[in-house]
A and B are shown apart, each in its own frame.
Chain A
Amino acid sequence: MISQFFILSSKGDPLIYKDFRGDSGGRDVAELFYRKLTGLPGDESPVVMHHEGRHFIHIRHSGLYLVVTTSENVSPFGLLELLSRLATLLGDYCGSLGEGTISRNVALVYELLDEVLDYGYVQTTSTEMLRNFIQTEAVVSKPFSLFDLSSVGLFGAETQQSKVAPSSAASRPVLSSRSDQSQKNEVFLDVVERLSVLIASNGSLLKVDVQGEIRLKSFLPSGSEMRIGLTEEFCVGKSELRGYGPGIRVDEVSFHSFVNLDEFESHRILRLQPPQGELTVMRYQLSDDLPSPLPFRLFPSVQWDRGSGRLQVYLKLRCDLPLKSQALNVRLHLPLPRGVISLSQELSSPEQKAELAEGALRWDLPRVQGGSQLSGLFQMDVPRPPGPPSHGLSTSAPPLGLGPASLSFELPRHTCSGLQVRFLRLAFRPCGNANPHKWVRHLSHSDAYVIRI
């Protein structure tokens, strides 16, 4: 049971505030929340906070704080789920979630909240159901244009016809003006995998973890059936065998309740009649056993002269993707010993960039081609630690605070598990002549690819 719900910008300005029960405080709770959040000691979790008999539970999403307050000992799983569902809903209805879209669509957001929550109890969060009750139309910042390729969003990329849709194509409200609905018959399907890896300093692999999702954003009329064909060699669990090859194996799979699995056993086809808006069709996990080699290997060498305080780090990054693939927005983050003052660098290509930021080395590689090898040589001065000269410690040992290196990157058109969408077929036939557009994209990304030095 929820007492209040509010949305704050990343700077703490209240954007939306709604009190459902009138049983607690006034509007100043939003301010109180932000003050508490920013004043929290580092080892305490901000997820659930308490103030005078009131619990604050929040998520951070797209730079916003979505917060609920309650005075009861509620289910944290349920509330967090509700908050992230709300975030998706607001995204569906406003086009995308962000400070700008929320403040432009205040009326719509309040209308939605009115329908979703009644006296603090959840009524429904289905995009489809809500469509019947929502009257306000979303205000979109600028008309959608095919030529706008600047911003990077989640959905949208290549189609099977290898035409390209702008990344922002999916960032539009589900409830767009009823007049021009015919041209908006589009479906976006994303296979997104999140990779987390830990590699020991001797190069041995300590941990690989892939969290995958098939996400769908549909602008088709609700209830129109579609069939998603997955790789036929897709196996679940360690023991299942399919096809003659090594198979595409995942450890666990869960499906959205809308998915009909009649054809899954035989042909690996998912059938569903999705409502408009965003939906996670399938989630899967895979650990320890990747079918393809890891995308990156790092070969570091460190020279450390304790006497002069000169630290030299040579990093060689090899990309083991297939030759035709590439990695984008690769960033290497290497924590450095405390007090590093200067940095000189020699990079293997001009488009790279390296700098010191927050006590760490940041090496940006906008584009890395499969099979290529890039390197950087970095020289730094580390001030000598105060106190007596140390003895008993070998001078060749790297200084304290160096490493581990962590990489973040995106791999377009690549899934680490090897899972692919074979086809996306729609049963929907529009009355006009415009065939619905289907956009299918595969993407892997990582923000936790850690290599010990």
Chain B
Amino acid sequence: MSQKKRQKPVVWVEQILLKMLPHQDEEEPASYRGSSGSCLVTIRKMPYLGSEDVVKELKKALCNPHIQADRLRYRNVIQRVIRYMTQGLDMSGVFMEMVKASATVDIVQKKLVYLYMCTYAPLKPDLALLAINTLCKDCSDPNPMVRGLALRSMCSLRMSKLDQWGQAEVLNFLLRYQPRSEEELFDILNLLDSFLKSGSPGVVMGATKLFLILAKKFPHVQTDVLVRVKGPLLAACSSESRELCFVALCHVRQILHSLPGHFSSHYKKFFCSYSEPHYIKLQKVEVLCELVNDENVQQVLEELRGYCTDVSADFAQAAIFAIGSIARTYTDQCVQILTELLGLRQEHITTVVVQTFRDLVWLCPQCTEAVCQALPGCEENIQDSEGKQALIWLLGVHGERIPNAPYVLEDFVENVKSETFPAVKMELLTALLRLFLSRPAECQDMLGRLLYYCIEEEKDMAVRDRGLFYYRLLLVGIDEVKRILCSPKSDPTLGLLEDPAERPVNSWASDFNTLVPVYGKSRWATISKCHGAERCGPELPKTSSFAASGPLIPEENKERVQEVPDSGTLMLVPNLQLTADYFEKTWLSLKVAHQQVLPWQGEFHPDTLQMALQVVNIQTIAMSRAGARPWKAYLSAQDDTGCLFLTELLWKPENSEMQISVKQNETRTETLKSFISVLETVIGTIEEIKS
């Protein structure tokens, strides 16, 4: 018995809320945004005007079987109750009797009673539960008026009984609901506003997620919600519970991906303290990297500089890598700090600094000069493979600016016999050959020695083959060597592609308050992959095999595909292979599902675009050569449900715009939208890089 009683609130209120929402607009005028809680039935403070006698008398009357038998008298008594209620007397004492009075065929009486119940339900939640039985029965009444009345009353019953766990469940449940109009959407948001202020982090985050998802077309509302959840998140980040702190930090990072400045003024909250466990420190360092801006960069870098000499080598290295990633924006300050760190002459520091330098000159060529000046002397403090490779690469590519580069490489050549890592030897071969091109006199002799060693004595076949390859290349002639080895020394666009700034909130809203941010997106992908494989078993063909065998979706799979709800989340399948013929056939057989134009100025490298599209798993089937006018490209992509997106890009320089036409082999508006937004992001990014 007792068990049953406790379960009720959760179950009922779920039903109520579900039923409530579609009727929202009928029952109350749309309220404007921001008037939080204006839709809630407000309970005024009832003045206590010696109502005991009145209540006692009314109670007696309501219980009187003679009155109950006389419809008019019964109704009169109830009317009196309502009248007193309106005057502000506390009539909650007769709740029980009023609930009984609701079981009647008299619709007027029913209406009165329901009015009463809606007013007092929050005060008497336990008793209000009894009324629900009657309400439910009325919902299946043959009379539509009774049905409507019951439903409406049920919607107006606001019970505060729900505990935090129930609230979290209901908020989660509401994610399934799609509001039918903008007004309805804002009504729901107003109604649920108070949950953002709950004392329970679970409820606050549940409400936040619901808001983010419901307001997916209103970025300013989303930003608003994220501002409001800042306080609770920051509190959780400095919570005594490490576990909560960690989870909150993961979510902070998620938010920072879309709103980089969101936590910038609170940067001090993310400083590490000595007693924290490693995994929290690492998260905090990541957060610091992401929230850095012009105002706090000085303080953040100073803080990170402090971590670089931490006793834990792992943590120190993480801090150095963090400075390296900040260096992409604040190059000069960071390169200076990194150079100072080399002065400490610690192996574990030097190796990471040199690796950071290597990545940095590739992305930010403007710092090459400073890096080249810092390098001399580093070789004494590098012992590991990664560090050696980075140093040798730098000496090879930028050796003409480093006076002692040949001598450092010479040391490596001298000791090549005792070198244990094949990767270092490979790097050494390439670097020395490159340096030979710019400084032949100093390198010729040792290049000969190195090639001789690699070809005659080296036991690792890959190194030996590389040596032979370079040897034969040299035989062809120096021009050919130059043509093959002298590639660009930097590629600033790569950084932007690697790390597409400001992902839209909608790209992660559905992951908010789940385990995805806690595991990290990439680990989650592997987890859900093996999890999915386990569940589906072997009968599901591998996505890549779809494409190879003519028709894209085998007949028997069609049903399965249709079962997948049109959720709007898009997962494009990597390595989709379509033949040009098949593409052409499909393209011609389909109608254009979406067409739009994007601004597009001036010349660009088609290769960059192709690479960028590849990153998001959109394959290029064919494209015009660079400089062709009008310029065209055909792209294809497929999502994990098998839906195929075929795209034509058409650039007409005279209008300075890019026309996008997308065709789809199944009509799915939601995924189409997500696909378009992916495409827009990529094209937008390329456009930014150009300018």
State the A residues within 8 Å of B (CB).
42-48, 50, 52-53, 55, 57-60, 73-84, 118, 121-126, 129, 132-133, 194, 196, 198, 206-207, 209, 211, 252, 254-257, 283, 285, 287-288, 333, 335, 338, 359-360, 385, 387-388, 390, 392-393, 400-401, 404, 406, 408, 447-448, 450, 452
Given A43-B314, A387-B381, A400-B344: A75 and B202 interface contact (C-beta under 8 Å) = yes
- CB–CB B518/A48 < 8 A: yes
User: How far, in whole Å, are A55 and B518 apart by their CA atoms in the complex?
Assistant: 11
Given contacts A58-B243, A75-B514, A401-B309, contact A124 B201 (CB under 8 A): no
Chain A residues contacting B309 (CB-CB under 8 Å) are 400-401
Proximity bits, B281-298, A CB within 8 Å = 1, else 0: 011000000000000000
Contacts of B516 in A (CB 8 A): 73
**A148 CA to B519 CA, complexed, in Å:** 46
Q: Which of B168, B268, B274, B518 contacts A78 (CB 8 A)?
A: B168
**CB < 8 Å: which of A53, A55, A82, A256 contacts B534?**
A53
Q: How far is the CA of A15 from the CA of B242 in the complex (A)?
A: 23
Given A47-B518, A209-B238, A387-B381, 20 new contacts (CB under 8 A): A44-B279, A47-B246, A48-B519, A50-B527, A59-B243, A75-B168, A76-B247, A77-B244, A77-B247, A78-B165, A78-B168, A122-B165, A124-B163, A194-B240, A206-B299, A256-B199, A285-B235, A393-B345, A400-B309, A448-B273
B275 interface residue (CB < 8 Å to A) = yes
CB pair A196–B238 under 8 Å, yes or no, is yes
Which residues 218-268 of B sit at the A interface, judged by CB distance below 8 A?
A: 231, 235-236, 238-244, 246-248, 268
- CB pair B311–A338 under 8 Å, yes or no, is yes
- Asked if residues A47 and B243 are in contact (CB atoms below 8 Å), the reply is yes
**C-alpha spacing A2/B119, complex, angstroms:** 37
- Size range of the interface on B? 35 or more
- Judging by beta carbons under 8 Å apart, are B242 and A196 in contact? no
Whether the Cβ atoms of B201 and A46 lie closer than 8 Å is no
- B181 at the binding interface (Cβ < 8 Å): no
Would A359 and B311 count as touching, CB distance under 8 A? yes
Specify which chain B residues have a CB less than 8 angstroms from the CB of A388 in the assembled complex. 380
Q: Is the CB of A211 within 8 A of B238?
A: yes
Contacts of B83 in A (CB 8 A): none
Cross-chain contact B268 with A287 (CB below 8 angstroms): yes
Q: B440 — which chain A residues lie within 8 A by C-beta? A: none
Q: List 20 A-B contacts (CB under 8 A).
A: A43-B318, A47-B243, A59-B241, A60-B242, A73-B515, A75-B205, A76-B515, A77-B236, A80-B241, A81-B244, A83-B243, A118-B3, A118-B7, A255-B199, A257-B198, A285-B238, A335-B274, A388-B380, A406-B274, A447-B275
Question: In the complex, what residues of B have CB within 8 A of residue A42's CB?
Answer: 278-279, 314
With A47-B246, A80-B244, A194-B240 already in contact, the answer to whether A73 and B514 are too (CB < 8 A) is yes
Determine whether the beta carbon of A404 is less than 8 Å from that of B279.
no
**How far apart are B268's CB and chain A's nearest CB, in angstroms?**
4
Contact A81 B200 (CB under 8 A): yes
For chain B, residues 483 to 536, give those with C-beta under 8 angstroms from any C-beta of chain A: 513-516, 518-519, 527, 530-531, 534-535
Which of A79, A133, A256 contacts B2 (CB under 8 A)? A133
Min C-beta distance of A275 to chain B, whole Å: 12
The docked-state distance in angstroms from the alpha carbon of A254 to that of B232 is 10
Tell me the minimal C-beta distance from A82 to chain B in angstroms.
Answer: 7
8 A-B pairs with least C-beta separation:
A78-B202, A448-B273, A45-B279, A122-B165, A406-B274, A207-B268, A77-B205, A76-B247
**Complex contact B244–A75 (CB within 8 A):** no
If A75-B168, A84-B241, A388-B380 touch, whether A450 touches B274 (CB-CB below 8 Å) is yes
Q: A48-B515, A52-B534 are in contact. Are A254 and B311 (CB under 8 A)?
A: no
User: Nearest A residue to B345 by beta-carbon distance?
Assistant: A390
Q: Is B684 an interface residue (CB 8 A)?
A: no
- Most B Cβ at <10 Å: residue of A48, A132, A209, A338: A48
Q: B9's closest neighbor in chain A, by CB?
A: A124
Residues in chain A near residue B71, CB distance under 8 A: none
Residue on A with the closest CB to B528? A73
List A contacts of B562 (CB < 8 A): none
Is B448 interfacial (CB-CB < 8 Å)?
no
| B178 CB within 8 Å of chain A | no
Whether B346 sits at the interface, judged by CB under 8 Å, is yes
Query: B380 — which chain A residues lie within 8 A by C-beta?
Result: 387-388
Counting CB contacts under 8 A, is B550 at the interface?
no
Are B271 and A75 in contact, with the CB atoms below 8 A?
no
Closest to A360 in B: B311
Q: Which residue of B lies closest to A78 (CB)?
A: B202
Q: Is the CB of B273 within 8 A of A45?
A: no
Q: Which of B297-320 contact A (CB under 8 A)?
A: 299, 303, 306, 309, 311, 314, 318
Q: Are A123 and B515 in contact (CB under 8 A)?
A: no
Given A55-B515, A60-B242, A211-B238, are A333 and B534 neighbors across the interface (CB < 8 Å)?
no
Measured CB to CB, the closest approach of chain A to B641, in angstroms, equals: 19
| Residue among A43, A53, A252 making CB contact with B282, cutoff 8 Å | A43
A390 to B231, CA, bound (A): 49
Measured in the bound complex, the distance between the Cα atoms of B173 and A158 in whole Å is 48
Once the chains are docked, how many angstroms separate the CA of A255 from the CA of B163? 15
* Contact A209 to B269, CB < 8 A, known contacts A80-B243, A254-B199, A400-B309: yes
The reply to whether the CB of B343 lies closer than 8 angstroms to some CB of chain A is yes
B168 touches A198 (CB 8 A): no
Q: Contact string, B1-38, partner A, CB cutoff 8 A, digits 1/0?
A: 01100110000000000000000000000000000000
Kindly provide the distance from the CB of B326 to the nearest chain A CB, expressed in whole angstroms. 19
A129: min CB distance to chain B, Å: 7
If the complex has contacts A252-B231, A400-B344, are A77 and B513 also in contact, measured as CB distance less than 8 A?
yes
**In whole angstroms, how far apart are the Cα atoms of A452 and B310 in the complex?**
12
Chain B residue numbers with a CB within 8 Å of A194 are 240
Interface residues of B in 172-193 (CB under 8 A from A): 172
B531–A53 contact, CB under 8 A?
yes
Interfacial chain A residues near B168, Cβ < 8 Å: 75, 78
B406 at the interface (CB under 8 A from A): no
With contacts A42-B314, A287-B268 known, is A448 near B274, CB below 8 A? Answer: yes
Measured between alpha carbons, how far is A393 from B280 in the docked complex, in Å?
33
Closest B residue to A76 by beta carbon equals B247
B399 within 8 A of A: no
CA distance A125 to B299 in the complex (A): 44
Bound Cα distance from A94 to B627, whole angstroms:
78
Contacts of A198 in B (CB 8 A): 268, 271, 273
